[in-house]
A = this chain, B = another copy of it.
Amino acid sequence: MHRELIEKMKSSKVSFHEADRMPDIDSAILARRTAVSEFTGVELKHITNFSFNTREVTKRNIENMIGAIQVPLGVAGPLHITGEYANGGYYIPLATRGCSVITACGGASARIFKDEMTRAPVFKVKDAKGAKELVDWVNNPVNFKRLKEKAETTTKFGKLLSLTTFVAGRNVFIRFSYDTKDAMGMNMVTIATDVAVDLILSETSAELVALSGNMCSDKKPAAINVITGRGKTVSADVVLDRKTIMDKLKTTPEKMVDVNYRKNLIGSALSGSLGMNAHAANVASAMFIACGQDAAHAVEASNTMTTLELTDEGLHCSVTLPSLAVGTVGGGTTIGTQKECLEMLGVAGAGNPPGANSKKFAEIIAAAVLAGEISLIGALAARHLAKAHSEHGR
């Protein structure tokens, strides 16, 4: 029977989902993998190595599982951080050289300015007059309260914080903004908003076009995320002394300021960029994969602004991430290896109070991004980049 199913999958007579009917999960994974292997003629021996709980993973994280990808994991640190949530030395699950520079200078500070996850359905109304009526309805405090109550029936932790309306002719976008505590929250806010939308549909003449109208904006390079924030808005900074810069980065504070000014500010501006940084997405992306986050949120992480300024006390270096979408519960956070990485940072699962773990995690990522910026800007200032590429093949 397995053979029969495999043959049917190979000839596209049935879809891969058919294998889900098999009595046990591992047989289904094997059947699908066999079909792919035989169809493509590729021996698949590496993707068979994994140690996570397949029942949980197939239920929550992946459709049509056939195995696992192994992503090599490095470590950097300890990175000393003084945030409102993160405090102490942390081993960062990925490799970047800037950590030792920061730690040598007393550690990074970090602060969170905003923490809201958004979902913005788009509605169609009759005309500009109808748009005004819908906007007025939404802006009525009584209706906000009712929408909040409905939305919050779907979630134990999520809280609706505010609604913002945007109009383009007969298109009205309503941006729902939530506190999602330790969850990254895309799932939570989608479900909550879906229910709230029903109330709008039942009391106004607006027609729902799509539950997400791209004013959210999820995984798109959008100015709205820079300006209003999405997920965590977080800064990390440190003051580096001249000696450490010369010893460890083989360059001077002045050269680093010059690189940041001409590359990250002038160059980014000329290129029409929403992010003014050297490679924030690299560090964020590596940590996202290690820690079970949605890797595509590297898009929002790339909105980072990096500043380097000479002060009386030394070289002040900062990063500000306006739209860092991360969480410590849900998503891929419970997969074996990913969970171990979160545990290394002391942020696995729900925090106490709720939200504390994801905020701490955000501070750590910001500090790691800062380390990455210092490392690359230092290398550019010392003209070491191409050499590093040659040596490490990346």
- Interface size of A by CB at 8 A reads 165
Cross-interface CB contact of A169 among B72, B217, B235, cutoff 8 Å: B235
Report chain B residues within 8 Å CB of A394.
60-61, 187, 331
- What residues of B have a CB within 8 angstroms of the CB of A182 in the complex? none
When C-beta atoms are compared, the residue in chain B nearest to A309 turns out to be B170
Q: In whole angstroms, what is the CA distance A93 to B39 when docked?
A: 14
B-contact 0/1 string along A208-239, CB 8 Å cutoff: 11111111111111111111100001011101
* Cα distance A305–B295 in the bound complex, in angstroms: 20
Name the distance in Å between A35's Cβ and chain B's nearest Cβ: 9
Beyond A187-B393, A220-B275, 19 extra complex contacts between A and B, CB < 8 Å: A46-B52, A46-B340, A50-B72, A52-B70, A63-B392, A66-B74, A67-B72, A111-B128, A111-B129, A169-B316, A170-B307, A194-B386, A209-B259, A211-B386, A215-B267, A220-B277, A222-B268, A265-B269, A268-B269
A110 within 8 A of B: yes
With A209-B259, A267-B215 as contacts: A70 and B91 at CB distance below 8 Å: no
A173 in contact (CB, < 8 A): yes
Do A282 and B296 form a contact, CB below 8 Å, given A69-B290, A337-B46, A380-B210? yes
A253 within 8 A of B: no
Nearest to A187 among chain B residues (CB) is B389
| 26 residue pairs from A and B, CB less than 8 Å apart | A16-B75, A42-B343, A46-B337, A49-B49, A49-B50, A61-B394, A110-B128, A111-B128, A111-B132, A127-B316, A128-B236, A128-B318, A168-B305, A169-B309, A169-B319, A170-B309, A187-B389, A208-B383, A210-B262, A219-B298, A220-B275, A224-B273, A226-B270, A227-B271, A282-B296, A288-B295
A78: CB under 8 A from chain B?
Answer: yes
C-alpha spacing A190/B335, complex, angstroms: 36
Residue A180, interface by CB 8 Å: no
Q: Please state if B214 and A335 are interface contacts (CB–CB under 8 Å).
A: no
* Residues of the B chain whose Cβ atoms lie less than 8 Å from the Cβ of A220: 268, 271, 273-275, 277, 281, 302
Inter-chain CA distance A59–B394, complex, in Å, is: 10
Cα distance, A147 to B42, chains bound together (Å):
43
Complex: how many Å from CA A40 to CA B91? 8
The answer to whether A73 touches B69 (Cβ under 8 A) is yes
Separation of A60 and B306 alpha carbons in the complex (Å) = 28
Q: Which 4 A-B pairs have the closest CB atoms?
A: A223-B272, A169-B318, A221-B221, A214-B267
Whether A266 contacts B267 by the Cβ 8 Å rule is no
A294 to chain B, nearest CB (A): 8
Is B72 a contact of A122 with CB atoms below 8 Å?
no
Pick the contact of A71: B69, B218, B221, B309 (CB < 8 A): B69
The reply to whether A289 and B295 form a contact with Cβ atoms under 8 Å apart is: yes
The CA of A385 and the CA of B194, in the complex, are separated in Å by: 9
Can you name the residue of chain B whose Cβ is closest to the Cβ of A229?
A: B166
Q: Give the most central of A237, A267, A296: most B CB within 10 Å.
A: A267
Main secondary structure of the interface of A (DSSP, over half): mixed
Q: What's the minimum C-beta distance from A263 to chain B, rounded to whole angstroms?
A: 5
The smallest C-beta distance from A343 to any residue of chain B, in angstroms, reads: 4
The answer to whether A140 has its CB under 8 Å from any CB of chain B is no
B50 engages A218 (CB within 8 Å): no
Residues on the B chain within 8 Å of A233, using CB? 167
Q: How far is the CB of A258 from chain B (nearest CB, A)?
A: 6
Q: How far is the CB of A227 from chain B (nearest CB, A)?
A: 5
A265 touches B263 (CB 8 A): no
Most B-side CB within 10 Å, residue of A15, A210, A295: A210
Q: Is A47 an interface residue (CB 8 A)?
A: yes
